[in-house]
Structure 1
Amino acid sequence: MLSKQPDPAGKPIVCDRSHRSYDWCHLKLRTILEPTSATFFTVGSPAAAVLPLSWEKIRPYPRKTDSKTMSNIREITLTTAPLHTPCEVHHNTPALVFSTGGFTGNFFHDFNDGIIPLFVTINTLFPHDRDITIVVANYADWWHSKYAAILPQFSSRPIINLNNQTVTHCFPSAVAGLISHGSMTINPTLIPNGKTFHDFRALLEEGYRRCLVWPPPRLKGRPRLVLVTRAGTVGRVLMNRDNIVRAAQEAGFDVVVLEPSPLTYLCDIYRLINGSHAMVGVHGAALTHSLFLQPGSVLVQVVPLGNDWLAGTYFKNLARGLNLVYMEYKIRAEESSLVEKYGADHVLVKDSLSIARRNWTALHDVYLKGQDVRVDVGRFRRCLRNAYSNAKRLMQAQGFHVRHRPRIRKYVSPLVFS
């Protein structure tokens, strides 16, 4: 838990810069925020007057080795220098400053670089008193609107948009920066109160269950599988989606096809996925919706060529943290559109794993943006049967009777929320 007093060594500002992906700094004294310069000064007092003058600068976003991204993150300054300007807005809770710049706007990064580190930081630095005031740099109105259902779970205080402030704010102390445990990871051994991914999901549940939502499709005696799809020229599109829908229905699932959009209403999405038993999708940001699956549900990740490391690092970590039944379907070369584009003997096809590991441009342009997938339905059926067995057990454990005879519905169009 953070101390509000200068430490014995006379350091009123303490920073941890020892981690590869993030820094954080704590100004322990009463502070006044001057918003134009994004600087936290100390409030003049006899105690502060005898302190050595010190300055710390930090860009509060957990990707510090990515210089290009970090250059667009607003810099925050913390200093023991006094500001001889009256305080116009008084707060009785510490400030926690972070940025919603960088990769924010991509659903995966919204959680991986923002919301999950926010949970980790609050429970690490304020484990016994979560009464804080959030100050957001690089603020975007859409971000606040999209996550309005869950943001009050982190703090009941109004969020301060640093972009549009014209008055000074005073706080008992201030922290700038977010702590990250890694990609889609919460390590309870590093948190004083031992919070886990299950506690994070409980926070999501608390927020989203209060939303006004349309009811999810009713369970019809079969486990529900959500097939997350992509469309257009974004890459990693499932080209034989309709065939996969029919195969999943034949395996015994009731299938809902979900094609998220940037305007996705997350309350509705949460209600749908929280009431489902399995999710299938090609590796991509939309699989972040698996955060909404109940523990014991099945997550099947289709892994395109060259996506092995990303798939294993991101969503396998998430599945482990939430106790999901995780399955990977790694496509073969003939299931990738890259064969049509380059030929089966091309190095980009035959050596995709090593090329993707050492060449970011190839990973992004070829294996993420330039590749679509046509899954071998016969081979994929084995994966669906395994998924069905696990999903059926979960549904039965929930007290539902499972209808064993598959019922095939005519597939019409994906469920798109906007």
Structure 2
Amino acid sequence: MKKMSKLMALLLVVVMVLMLVPVSAFAAEEVVEEPTLVVLEVEGAPVDEVLNTAVETPVVETPAVEAPAAVEPVVEAPAVETPVAETPVAETPVVAVAEEPVVATAADEGTIEVKAVPALGLWRDAVTFIDVLLNTVGADYSYDAVTNALTLNNFVGKQVEAADMGSNFSMILKGTNVIANADGCAIDVVGNLTMGGSGELTAVGSQSAIHVMDGDLVLNDGDYELFAIGNVGDVAAVDVENGDLIINDGWVDAEAVNMGTGGAWGLWADNDLVINGGDIDVMTDSVSGQSMGIGAGDDTIVKGGYTTVKSTTETGVATALYAGSWVVIRDGILDLCTQGGVNPLAIYGAEGVWISPCYGDVDLTASCLYLEPYCGCHWKHSKSDNPKTGTQDMASDALMATMGLLALMGMAYLISKKEIKG
């Protein structure tokens, strides 16, 4: 019983002690041991001072050791380029595209050649136009693209015009054709033109009956009545600019009358004019300009045929056969005569005149000449009334020719009007 009471008293004391201990003491999981105080004996210092200073635990400041650049290199992030978040583009299928062709410029390879567009048309009057390349067949005309030939068959109209039709472009005449243009050229062609056929052509123009530019004009055969009458600038029955005029055969009557101050030319070519044959009759008349029957900017060459020229002027210069370079007469008969103006000449060559010895002696200062080869050289033809070195009165011829030309233009105009009404 005593033991029990002691035990109970002991338990009571323990409980009371436990009640005095803070709860936090029981919460700590670790028991922190109180640091042992180490007393250091410092020489010359009383023990109390040492104890007093030693109580404060010295704060050992860890020096901030700056890593030298070499010791702690700045490791640059490899130039991992921050990938630009490119919006993914759906890959277009690779298509083989031919490289753009290199266009040669004029500076690289000279002038660029531009392909010309051919054109061919007929004017029936001042308002009615026919595009022959679109309408290849009509009542009085037709065009064959294979042979590149325009056929006129009893055509009556104001003008035929063509451009860049090719080197083999030709015009074939059938029946009786009348073309009259009081405002310019009856036939106007850019490029080469070859004419021929069994038909006839009457062409009247205020500037030219036939005008060819940048090409050659070749007359193979056919019957031609060609008239130019005007009073502004120069007029020419046949005018070939920047090309040759070649007459192989046929009947060619050409008249040019200028009532103004310009010149009147019968047959003219800027380059060469060559007569190989045919029957050619030319008449020109001017007031004060040059009256020239047959002429060329380069050479005028006669190889055959029968050629008659009558050129008159009032105060200008009259020449029957003219050349800017050489006049060459090899064969054929020539009946040449000029009258009026200053020093009219039957033949004039700027660089010279060559005439076959078959013609004998020729007076190149004469205003009129009749040239015919000796029968021993070639053949004999009955002489005209124009003596070899003589002169001939042609005033009446010029007047009659002018009146006839005016009448012809009026007739062509009436025929054109009649065709339009019909």
TM-score bracket for this pair, using the shorter chain length: under 0.3
Bigger helix fraction: 1
Bigger strand fraction: 2
Determine which structure has greater relative contact order: mean sequence separation of CA pairs < 8 Å that are 6+ residues apart, divided by chain length. Answer: 1
When the two structures are superposed, what TM-score results if normalisation uses the length of structure 2? 0.23
